[in-house]
Amino acid sequence: MLRSSVSTLLGIQYPVLQGGMAWIADATLAAAVSEAGGLGVISAMGSDCERLRAEIRKAKKLTDKPFGVNIMLMSSGVEQTADLVCEEGVPVVTTGAGNPAKYMDRWLQADIKVVPVVASVAFARLMERIGAHAVIAEGGEAGGHVGDSSTMTLVPQVCDAVRIPVIAAGGIGDGRGLAASMMLGASGVQLGTRFLLAKECGIHDVYKQKLIKASDIATIVTGRRSGHPIRTLKSPMARRYAEWEYDSNVDDKALSELRAGGLRKAVEEGSESEGYFMAGQIAGMLKREETAQQIVHSIVAEAEELFKRCGTWLE
Amino acid sequence: MVKEKVIEILAEYKDCAPEEIDASQSFEELKLDSLDTVEIVMNLEEAFDIELKITEDLKTVQDVIEAIEKLV
């Protein structure tokens, strides 16, 4: 059976984490992933404190297994969220889009396992130094906010630089991705896009259908001009943004207003024209809706099968 | 002394001449993003054998120089 330092560290059965996708990852999805033996993660983004508290309590009712909360450090209200996860005794916190140093002391004191998302070696080293239990090395194949390095290049370099477990993310969609990540030195994986098609994921059906239809080249990165690049499906909105981005007649304010609320419009309304449908490059691999359990179990079974075959590569 | 060394390290990172870097400039003005900043801070820590806290107060090159001066 597949075991790794990540499963031991987080108290889960399989080293498979579900990405804490903003506006999407709620208690229902997170609990389903945790029940399946992975680590479900609730996104703090898009919830005010009371709603997040309710989601955390709901997840605790739905599962006895560990789950996490993802805190996007660029968002507002981080200070309150940082305290809330301590009060509620959340087992794991993942962070994104910034440096969580300011909150580390209180999280470590509350016995929370802290797992920041990193996009560079220096950042991973810094996270290890301030006490992170593991890092998620996320390559630019991922959906949502992305860095420049690819998973293939980032993961082995981060693994060489830190002693804490490394979880690979970005471009991982099935057991081949898990096995490949472990070959690169990672002890686990985090998937976002694949879990968008979990039955327990409450995004609009239009969003799900777009993912099923998506091909390998269906995504685009926009927002480099603003310094916050985001990978999404090539929706009308994303194409318009891409056009405006390279038009010097469009000022930064107009550009940022164009995208405002776009993810929510995709998730809740399924708005074809105004939605910003975040997705990773792996979207082309997705063919159907499945339960979180089917997703987690098939990923693990495929990886185990691949590892059994490893020996046949050597004469 | 600290100032010269910080500017030298920054110039090396950016592949430019030290004269092109003005201490009053922010990292943003120097076209360095958050990942660059973390890497530069790590380089500075190694060069000065110190540990710097990366906070929002470290905006300009001068802020970094002053933070280092307090530690060496």
What three-state secondary structure class fits A233? strand
- Residue A296 sits at φ, ψ, to 5 deg, of -60, -50
> Is B54 touching A (CB cutoff 8 A)?
yes
The tens digit of pLDDT for each residue in A126-135 reads: 999 999 999 9
pLDDT of B57 > 80? The answer is no
| Token pair recorded at residue B65 | 């120089």
Distances (CA, A) of B7 to A16, A66, A81, A179, B16: 44, 47, 38, 44, 10
Cα(A86)–Cα(A92) distance, integer angstroms? 10
In B, minimum Cα distance to A123 occurs at: B38
Q: Which residues pair with A61 in a beta bridge?
A: none
Q: Which of A117, A123, A149 has the most B C-beta neighbours within 10 Å, making it the best mutation to test the interface with B?
A: A123
pLDDT at A277: 94
Cα(A280)–Cα(B26) distance, integer angstroms? 33
Nearest to A124 by CA among A168, A163, A162: A162
- For chain A, the first-to-last Cα distance in angstroms comes to 25
Residues of B in contact with A227 (CB under 8 A): 33
Residues of A in contact with B53 (CB under 8 A): 101
What three-state secondary structure class fits A177? helix
> Is B35 touching A (CB cutoff 8 A)?
yes
| Token pair recorded at residue B46 | 């190694």
3-state helix, strand, coil in chain A (%, to 5): 45, 15, 40
Cα(A120)–Cα(A201) distance, integer angstroms? 30
Distances (CA, A) of A308 to A4, A172, A294: 16, 20, 21
Cα(A211)–Cα(A232) distance, integer angstroms? 11
Tell me the shortest Cα–Cα distance from B54 to chain A, in angstroms: 8
pLDDT at A88: 94
pLDDT of B3 > 70? The answer is yes
pLDDT at A47: 67
In A, minimum Cα distance to B53 occurs at: A101
Residues of A in contact with B39 (CB under 8 A): 120-123
Q: Which of A74, A99, A117, A226 has the most B C-beta neighbours within 10 Å, making it the best mutation to test the interface with B?
A: A99
In DSSP notation, A241-288 reads: HHHHHT-TTS-HHHHHHHHTTHHHIIIII--TTT---B--GGGGG--S
Q: What residues contact residue B15 under an 8 Å CB cut-off, 6+ apart?
A: none
> Is B31 touching A (CB cutoff 8 A)?
no
Distances (CA, A) of A272 to A207, A210, A243, A269, A275: 9, 9, 18, 9, 6
pLDDT at A261: 85
**Spans in chain A with pLDDT lower than 50:** none
The answer to whether A280 and A170 are in contact (CB under 8 A) is yes
Tell me the shortest Cα–Cα distance from B1 to chain A, in angstroms: 25
Cα(B58)–Cα(B27) distance, integer angstroms? 9
Contact B42 A99 (CB under 8 A): no
- Residue A121 sits at φ, ψ, to 5 deg, of -65, -45
pLDDT at A6: 92
Write down the H helix ranges in chain B: 2-14, 34-48, 61-71
For residue A273, how many other CB atoms are within 10 A of its CB?
9
Tell me the shortest Cα–Cα distance from B50 to chain A, in angstroms: 13
- Residue with tokens 């999280």, as numbered in its chain: A107
Q: What is the CA radius of gyration of chain A?
A: 18
Cα(A243)–Cα(A237) distance, integer angstroms? 10
The tens digit of pLDDT for each residue in A157-178 reads: 999 999 999 999 999 999 999 9
| Nearest-CB residue to A101 (from B33, B39, B53) | B53
Cα(A49)–Cα(A110) distance, integer angstroms? 18
In DSSP notation, A13-63 reads: SSSEEE---TTT--HHHHHHHHHTTSBEEEE-TT--HHHHHHHHHHHHHH-
pLDDT at A46: 65
Q: What is the CA radius of gyration of chain B?
A: 11
